[in-house]
Amino acid sequence: MLPYKVTGKYESLIVALSKVGTDADCGEATLLKPIASCFRSAGSSVVEFDCVLSLKSWRWKGVSKNERINILVHAKESIRRADHVLLKSTVCVNYFTGTADAPLLLQAFHYDYDPEPFDHPLFHMQVTNRCIALTAADIASLEVRLPIEGAPPVLRCARVPTCDMTLASVLLCLAADHVGGTIFNEFMEKICELQADLPQPAIELLGNSLGAPVRNVRSSHWFRLPAVAGAVNPA
Per-residue pLDDT of the chain (235 residues; tens, 9 = 90+): 899 999 999 999 999 999 999 999 998 899 999 999 999 999 999 999 999 999 999 998 877 778 899 999 999 999 999 999 999 999 999 999 877 677 889 999 999 999 888 889 999 999 998 899 999 999 999 988 888 777 777 777 789 999 999 999 999 999 999 998 889 999 999 999 999 899 999 888 888 888 878 888 888 888 755 444 444 444 4
**Same domain (yes/no): 130, 210:** no
**Same domain (yes/no): 18, 125:** yes
**Same domain (yes/no): 217, 189:** no
pTM for the whole thing? 0.90
How many domains does one find in the chain?
A: 2
**Same domain (yes/no): 191, 221:** no
Q: Which residue in 109, 84, 106, 80 sits closest to 95, CA to CA?
A: 106
**Same domain (yes/no): 125, 209:** no
What is the span of the domain harbouring residue 228? 203-235
**Same domain (yes/no): 111, 190:** yes
**Same domain (yes/no): 30, 134:** yes
